[in-house]
Amino acid sequence: MSIDSNYFSLLSKLPPYVFSVVNELKYTARRNGNDVIDFGMGNPDQPTPKHIVEKLMESSVLSKNHRYSVSAGLPKLRLAISDWYKSNYDVSIDPETETIVTIGSKEGLSHLMLATLSPGEVVLVPDPCYPIHSFSVLIARGDVRSYDSFTEEKMIDSIIKGLNVDPKPKALILSFPSNPTTQTVDLDFFNKVVDIAKKYRIIVIHDFAYADICFDGFKAPSFLQAKDAKDVGVESFSMSKSYNMAGWRVGFMSGNKEIISALRRVKSYLDYGIFQPIQISAITALNQTKDCVHQISDTYKIRRNRLIDSFSNSGWIIEKPKATMFVWAEIPDKFKNLGSLEFSKMLIKECNVAVSPGIGFGKNGDNHVRFALIENEQRILQASRSIKKLFL
Ligand SMILES: Cc1ncc(COP(=O)(O)O)c(C=O)c1O
C-alpha cells in the first residue's frame, strides 16, 4: 500500500493557502536582505494589555490551576460573558445554557460545523470570506454554496436565491464587520436575516471577531440584538483582536441553546477546556473597563488614516473602512488585468510591500488586495513612498 495525499480524500478540498505563495516571495525577499513591509496577516503586532498579562502570571503559579479545566469554560467566565453581553448590547445570555468558551473563534466555528452538519448538507457562505468560514464546512464534509457579500441589497437577494436552490441549505454564515471586505451592517439587516432564517428554517452563525474595532462613532451591532435572534442562531466572539490576545486562543460562542448544546457535547469529547489561567485572565479582560479596547481600536484608526491619506498622495485612492483592522483596496485600474495574486507578487517584487491577494478569500475578491494594519505609521509612510513609483 502506498500512502500519498490522494489517500486522504479531504485533502483535495484543502488546497495550500493562496497566501502561502505570497509568503514564500516575502521570505525570499527577506533572505535577500530586503526590508519587506508586511501587511499580510491579521496578526496583531501590539502586546496584550498589562493587567491581563499580570493576571496570567499571578494565576499560573497556583498549582490548582494546572489541572484539566472545564470543556465548556469556567462558570465565572461564562458569567463574565453574560455580563459583557448585557452591558454592551443589552442582550440577556444564560451563562449555563446559552454560551460556551472556545479555543479561539476558529476552533469554535469549526467544531460547530462538525456538531451540526451531516455529510453533504449545504451552508451558505459569503464570497469573499474569512477562509475558515468555508473550510470549516468542507472539513465537516458539508457543501459550500456562496453568496455575494458586497452590498447589503445584493447580499439579501443572493442569500434568498441560494435558499431557493435544492438541496436546501441548513445554515447561513455571516460576519460583520467583515474580514476581508470591512463591510458593516446595521441592526435592521440582522432583523431581516432573522425573518429569512425563520421562513426558510435555517440556522444563522454570526462571526463577530471585529465587534470592537470600529471607528468614527460607528458601533457594530451584535446579531443577538436582533428580535428573536436566539431562536435561530449563535454569535462567535474572539478575544484575539479586541484585547490583542491572538496567541492566547480564547473566544466564546453565544445564543441559541440547542446549537450551543450541540457544540458543548462535541467539545466535551474533544477537549478539557483552555489552560485555566488563560480563562481567569479572560475574566479580568471582560470585567474591567474598556479603556484598553478603545486604545487598541484607536491605534488601528490612526494607521487606517495614515494609510488611506499617504496612499492617496501616492496615487492610489482607497475607500476608508468604518471598522476592522484591515483596508480592502481595489486594485488600481492600470493593474486590474493582472488579478490580485499577480498584483500582490508585483507589490513585493517592485515595492517590498506584502499584502493578501483578494482571490485568497474567494473568487469575488480578485479585484482587491487586503492590507492588515499591523505595521506602524512610519512603516506605512515608507510603503506609500515605495508604491508611488507604480503610479508615475
Ligand atoms: C472574521 C474572523 N473570524 C475569526 C478569526 C480568528 O479568531 P480567533 O483568533 O479567535 O480564532 C479571525 C482572525 O483573523 C477573523 O478575521
What is the rounded average pLDDT for all residues in the chain? 95
Residue 2 pLDDT: 76
Question: Does residue 220 contact residue 122 with C-beta atoms inside 8 Å?
Answer: no
Whether 37 and 99 share a structural domain: no
Residue 20 pLDDT: 82
Residue 282 pLDDT: 98
- d(C-alpha 280, C-alpha 370), whole Å: 34
The sheet carrying 326-330 orders its strands as 326-330, 368-372, 356-357
Nearest to residue 390, comparing CAs of 312, 313, 307, 315?
315
Whether 336 and 208 share a structural domain: no
Whether 224 and 132 share a structural domain: yes
Percent of the chain with pLDDT over 70: 100
* pTM confidence score: 0.97
Asked if residue 57 belongs to a domain, the reply is: no
| Residue 235 CA neighbour count, 13 Å, CB half | 26
The residue whose CA is least distant from atom 14 of ligand 1 is 42
Q: Is 166 exposed, middle or buried (0-12, 13-18, 19+ CB in 10 A)?
A: exposed
Question: Does residue 175 contact residue 220 with C-beta atoms inside 8 Å?
Answer: no
Residue 272 pLDDT: 96
> Per-residue pLDDT tens for 149-174?
878 888 999 999 999 999 999 999 99
Asked if residue 54 belongs to a domain, the reply is: no
Please state which of the ranges 145-154, 206-215, 266-275, 337-346 shows the lowest mean pLDDT.
145-154
Which run of H or E residues covers position 147? Answer: strand 143-148
Mean pLDDT, residues 98-115 taken together: 98
Asked if residue 59 belongs to a domain, the reply is: no
Question: Does residue 224 contact residue 85 with C-beta atoms inside 8 Å?
Answer: yes
Residue 254 pLDDT: 98
Atom of ligand 1 nearest to the CA of 104: 10
Structural domain including 39 reads 5-47+292-391
> Per-residue pLDDT tens for 132-141?
999 999 999 9
- d(C-alpha 64, C-alpha 276), whole Å: 9
Query: Residue 352: helix, strand or coil by DSSP?
Result: coil
Mean pLDDT, residues 71-99 taken together: 98
Mean pLDDT, residues 296-305 taken together: 98
Strand partners, 205: 173, 234
- d(C-alpha 173, C-alpha 161), whole Å: 15
Q: What is the chain's alpha carbon radius of gyration, rounded to the nearest angstrom?
A: 21
Please state which of the ranges 9-18, 23-32, 308-317 shows the lowest mean pLDDT.
9-18
Question: Does residue 72 contact residue 273 with C-beta atoms inside 8 Å?
Answer: yes
Q: Hey, what amino acid is at 93?
A: I
Instruction: Using most ligand atoms within 8 A of CB, pick from 41, 101, 130 the residue to mutate for ligand 1.
Output: 130
The domain tally of the chain equals 2
- d(C-alpha 95, C-alpha 88), whole Å: 16
CATH of the domain at 259: 3.40.640.10
Asked if residue 60 belongs to a domain, the reply is: no
Nearest to residue 238, comparing CAs of 259, 221, 254?
254
Instruction: Using most ligand atoms within 8 A of CB, pick from 112, 173, 240 the residue to mutate for ligand 1.
Output: 240
CATH of the domain at 311: 3.90.1150.10
How far is ligand 1, taken at its centre, from the CA of residue 338, in Å? 29
The residue whose CA is least distant from atom 7 of ligand 1 is 105
Residue 62 pLDDT: 98
Question: Does residue 123 contact residue 171 with C-beta atoms inside 8 Å?
Answer: yes
Instruction: Using most ligand atoms within 8 A of CB, pick from 132, 238, 239 the residue to mutate for ligand 1.
Output: 238
> Per-residue pLDDT tens for 347-361?
999 999 999 999 999
The length of the chain, given as a count of residues: 392
> Per-residue pLDDT tens for 187-217?
999 999 999 999 999 999 999 999 999 999 9
Atom of ligand 1 nearest to the CA of 107: 11
* Confidence at 1, pLDDT banded by 50, 70, 90: low
Helix axis angle, 257-270 to 105-116, nearest 10°: 100
Query: Residue 350: helix, strand or coil by DSSP?
Result: helix
Q: Looking at the predicted structure, is the pLDDT value of residue 69 above 70? A: yes
Nearest to residue 203, comparing CAs of 95, 90, 96, 109?
109
How far is ligand 1, taken at its centre, from the CA of residue 315, in Å? 32
How far is ligand 1, taken at its centre, from the CA of residue 56, in Å? 22
Whether 161 and 37 share a structural domain: no
